[in-house]
Chain A
């Protein structure tokens, strides 16, 4: 019974849903009732996926509660996380409860916390990426091999072509940068994209036929 529930039924659902979606995409005209029915199927998936948010919340609360109870590493930060999650959850739920429609309403306080606290912290973290790029570029651009040398030359030309100072030094730099971006770079990208697309189809076939089951649970 367990094997049927945990293995065969998911594989059957995967095959049937994949087959339906291929049929819908190619053979059911947009706007027809049959196509709308498949759109409803996609919406059902969204509903199922939405419940995963609860799983995420429970997993987050559980992890930090366990860490506090065990006095694990940096457990005091877990307290801050829990306080943050719970307060923001209360603010959100209070906003929904007090709004006349009771429907996914972001109250003023909810938006303020998001825009004035969260967004700034998020952008601060994002901005640190510039320093990571600089340190990675320093290592990548060292003249250690032929490939690194090509990377250094191309990188330098791109910098000169994209920065205003490059065009001021010599007007040919922007054109070179444009050519590098549009010709060799695009060729490489498309080669990777074609390989990925065919690889994805191959993977999808293996999954739809139940040949690749590595993403499923134990066979018991």
Chain B
């Protein structure tokens, strides 16, 4: 009888390796022995510029977290989007800009209220939080997308920020913002939509940059340590890939056999 379920042995071993690397880096940074420096992520730095521009123009900011909820396999992107929403809310409160958030999935509405309110509290302007600025337009892809598009046109938003899992609606939203002249910051880990954001937005977060956002914005050494650990994990995966290619080319199938376990 196998202890680990059939077909998941290699996956489990790899998960353990990645976990160990991330945890070691996380705790190393937490103890202060070494706190890594992370490169600047232009897309995240640009959020302050976007909020500042909206403040100067006296126009609102539109924020979306894509089509994700908290129960699907894309939840991690939604959660990352919510972390950036909190940061954006804090900046909006600090500068006195109006932030409009359009949740797609009703499961994130309560979280959105909390996250945005938290941002206003951190900025010391809890009274400025207006729950009516969190606008639920429905939970179907294109009606929601055109609801947001309509809001972008009607309100003539000065800045549009899209962070989360996006599908075909990504370009609809990004093009709407382009035509209204808004500064746009967008990010998704859905590789099939990244190109649309890159083309139609001023700044784009590509793939894992979105997941790093929470740690990056918090500037908490412990969280930054986990990003450092993730880099080690990537080196491991790349090394395994290269070794696998060399071994397979040499006719040795040890690694292939292991990953078939």
Contacts and interface: CB of A to CB of B under 8 A. Distances in A.
Given A26-B12, A214-B115, A56 B136 contact: yes
A192 B111 contact: no
Interface in A200-218: 200-207, 209, 211-212, 214-218
A201 B114 contact: no
Interface string B121-143: 10000000000101111111011
Given A203-B76, A203-B214, A56 B172 contact: no
A183 interface: no
Contact of B189 (A60, A136, A199): A199
Interface string B69-87: 1110000100110110011
Prevailing SS type, chain A contact patch: helix
A59 interface: yes
A29 B1 CA distance: 10
Interface string B1-45: 001110010011001001100110010000000000000000000
Interface of A: 25-30, 45-46, 49, 52-53, 55-57, 59-60, 63, 66, 73-74, 122, 125-126, 128-129, 132-133, 135-137, 139-140, 188-189, 192-196, 198-207, 209, 211-212, 214-220
Interface of B: 3-5, 8, 11-12, 15, 18-19, 22-23, 26, 69-71, 76, 79-80, 82-83, 86-87, 105-107, 109-111, 114-115, 117-118, 121, 132, 134-140, 142-143, 145-146, 154-155, 168, 171-172, 174-175, 178, 189, 191, 194, 196, 199-200, 206-208, 210-212, 214-215, 217-218, 220, 222-223, 226-227, 229-230, 233-234, 237
